[in-house]
């Protein structure tokens, strides 16, 4: 049975100003499209304006509305400017999706990891989320209408990933940042939650899927027997962004197809 045209209206996102950082990426762009389909006004923040323009064009052709803003989330001045632009063009943010992030610059043993790479990943994955939460959280508080934040963490934030120390630590920090935001901003009607993807096939992770044998092995390692798509993540993000999750605060939804549950299955038994 096909879905009715207004099936997304149940989310109550119509007219909501939604800021999505890293909006040119796989999860970010899919989230932007879905928010726009649900009637939200989308602000796509990214450094890649060419890609943002393509996504924004798709959104407008489909009848949605939004803007694209060049922003380096690791730079406080850039974030401040982006927040001012969003407020001026669309109004105060009501939803923030902290999605901007980078992966490792190659798999490196902890003892060999460079300080520069450590700083690069933390500055984008963690400090960037902090700066955006401050800037857009201030808009939510001052507008007096509440709001919601959804931060894209990772399974690596709670389960150590070999040779990915800076990435895992940055995502673990993001989980705690979300809890801290929950504790301090709930009094203003602002919620903060995380989604933690497992294996997701996006442009950033595509290098892991160039070998079909590796793709097959990864797929078979997941109890659900498939690799997630950005759509799987976007749908969970929209739920947390909407009032349908109005009493969910300070939580993390692990979206991994059951991958985190296989530990005991790997233990040798008689």
Among residues 167, 208, 209, 247, which one is catalytic? 167
Write out the DSSP string of 207-266. Answer: GGGSSHHHHHHHHHHSTTSS-B-HHHHHHHHHHHHSGGGTT--S-EEEESTTGGG-TGGG
Q: What is the pLDDT of residue 6?
A: 59
Q: What is the pLDDT of residue 105?
A: 58
Per the rule left: phi > 0, alpha: psi between -120 and 50, beta: everything else, 147 is left
| Helix, strand, coil shares, percent, the chain, to 5 | 50, 15, 35
pLDDT in tens, the chain (270 residues): 345 455 678 899 999 999 999 999 999 999 999 999 999 999 999 999 999 999 999 999 999 999 999 999 999 999 999 999 999 999 999 999 999 999 865 688 999 999 999 999 999 999 999 999 999 999 999 999 999 999 999 999 999 999 999 999 999 999 999 999 999 999 999 999 999 999 998 887 887 788 899 899 999 999 999 999 999 999 999 999 999 999 999 999 999 999 999 988 888 887
Q: What is the pLDDT of residue 206?
A: 81
Interacting residues of 121 by C-beta distance below 8 A, sequence separation 6+? 102, 104, 166, 167, 170
> Model-level pTM?
0.93
Please say if 167 is a catalytic residue. Answer: yes
Q: What is the pLDDT of residue 245?
A: 96
Q: What is the pLDDT of residue 211?
A: 86
Q: Domains (ranges, CATH) in the chain?
A: 11-253 (3.40.50.720)
Element (H, E) at 88: helix 76-89
């Amino acid at each position: 049975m096909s879905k009715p045209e207004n099936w997304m209206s149940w989310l109550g996102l119509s007219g909501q100003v939604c800021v999505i950082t890293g909006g040119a990426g796989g999860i970010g762009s899919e989230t932007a499209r879905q928010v726009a389909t649900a009637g939200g006004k989308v602000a796509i923040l990214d450094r890649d304006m060419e890609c943002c323009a393509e996504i924004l064009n798709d959104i407008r052709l489909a009848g949605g509305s939004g803007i694209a803003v060049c922003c380096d989330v690791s730079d406080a001045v850039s974030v401040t400017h982006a927040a001012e632009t969003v407020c001026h063009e669309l109004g105060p943010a009501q939803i923030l999706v902290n999605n901007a992030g980078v992966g490792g610059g190659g798999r490196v043993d902890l003892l060999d990891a460079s300080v520069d790479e450590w700083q690069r990943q933390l500055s984008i994955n963690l400090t960037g989320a902090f700066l955006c939460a401050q800037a857009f959280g201030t808009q939510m508080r001052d507008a007096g209408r509440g709001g919601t934040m959804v931060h894209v963490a990772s399974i690596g934030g709670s389960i150590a990933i070999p040779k990915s120390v800076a990435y895992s630590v940055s995502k673990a920090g993001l989980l705690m940042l979300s809890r801290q935001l929950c504790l301090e901003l709930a009094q203003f009607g602002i919620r903060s939650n995380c989604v933690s993807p497992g294996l997701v096939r996006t442009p950033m992770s595509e290098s892991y899927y160039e070998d079909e044998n590796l793709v097959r092995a990864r797929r078979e390692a997941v109890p659900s027997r498939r690799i997630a798509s950005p759509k799987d993540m976007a749908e969970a993000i929209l739920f947390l962004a909407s009032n349908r999750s109005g009493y969910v605060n300070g939580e993390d939804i692990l979206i991994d197809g059951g991958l985190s549950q296989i530990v005991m299955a790997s233990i040798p038994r008689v």
